[in-house]
Amino acid sequence: MERKPTKISIIGAGAVGSAVAFSIATQRLVSEIVIIDVNTEKAEGEAMDISHGIITMGTMNIHSGSYADVVDSDLIIITAGVGRKPGETRLDLANKNVAIARDVTRNIMKYYNGGAVMVISNPVDVITYLVQKESGLPAGRVFGTGTVLDSARFRYFLSVRLGADIRNVHGFTAGEHGESQFAVWISVHLSGMRLDSFCAKRGILLDKEEVMKDTVSSGAQVIKRKGVTNYAIAAIAAELAGTVVKNKRSIFSVTSVLHDYYGINDVAVSVPSFVGDEGVVGNLVYDFTDEEAEKLRGSAAQLRSFLNSLHI
């Protein structure tokens, strides 16, 4: 039986969207990548530039297009929006990006005929909630990158302090992709050994508050120095894209609209979730400690309050 061609559409050809397209192409995840942007020449240029290196990537059709080209996509990735400026929080972006997200969603749904929708645009929890509601798609079909990048940063900072290969360091953060996120310390282990035991045996005094401070502030630190964060999120987006198109059902701390999860309803926030070809195909009811569960509810409450202020 002939294999169905795989296709990813990327909305937004800015620093993030173009980096995402390049990362997906280098990993040879799909047979077709379409880049869509209101600045058609920018989208064309990005598609051309990536295509000129296709000799190292395999056979792919990488091109620019219009919203009509989202038809038959396995995954639609939304990166469109205004970038965060130095000193600006992700939530400060909401008033600027909500209007853009509404317009993007309306245009996608004119041609949508299947596939998952992944949101990268910030504030990702707010935009994910908006796109899920405005699109009318089934629950979980829309999800956001959430704290997957934060979790990667978290593991990086731990690996540096512990002097261990990051591939042996496991753990994640949950909640808002922003200031109210929290480390799920109960999840942290190194090749099966609990963090506290590892530190005790290695004589390491780990400042957990400092690790989390670095994790939360790292995005702002990058923006302060180069004006944008795009490479790390592109790598994360490609990992998630591969999970979707291959229907791996892998567990990531992505953001999606929750329903009766630790008492949380009608708000998008990051928790461990199974990701597959239909987006989030289920949330893992994780064994949070009482303190972690309270932090999760607090983070969700902050986001719900903000959504209310935006009348979403």
Could you state, in order of their start, the residue ranges of all structural domains in the chain? 7-144, 148-309
Band (311; pLDDT cuts 50, 70, 90) = confident
CA distance 54 to 40: 21
- Specify the amino acid at residue 282: G
Q: DSSP state, 189?
A: E
**What is the model's pLDDT at position 90?**
57
CA distance 118 to 275: 11
Q: DSSP state, 175?
A: B
Return the number of other C-beta atoms located less than 10 Å from residue 52's C-beta: 9
Beta strand 116-119 with 75-78 is parallel
Q: Is the pLDDT of residue 230 over 60?
A: yes
Percent of the chain with pLDDT over 90: 88
Both tokens of 152, joined, read: 């990667």
| Enclosing H/E stretch for 111 | none
Q: What's the whole-number average pLDDT of the chain?
A: 94
311 is catalytic: no
Q: Which of 52, 177, 259, 311 is catalytic?
A: 177
CATH number, domain 7-144, options 3.40.50.720, 1.10.357.10, 3.40.50.150, 3.40.50.300:
3.40.50.720
CA distance 239 to 23: 9
CA dist 166 → 23, 39, 156, 217, 280 (Å): 20, 39, 6, 20, 26
Note whether 51 and 62 are within 8 A (CB): yes
| Enclosing H/E stretch for 145 | none
The CATH number of the structural domain formed by 148-309 is 3.90.110.10
Both tokens of 127, joined, read: 């935009």
**What is the model's pLDDT at position 89?**
65
Average of pLDDT values for 33-38? 97
* Cross-strand pairs, 139: none
Both tokens of 132, joined, read: 């899920």
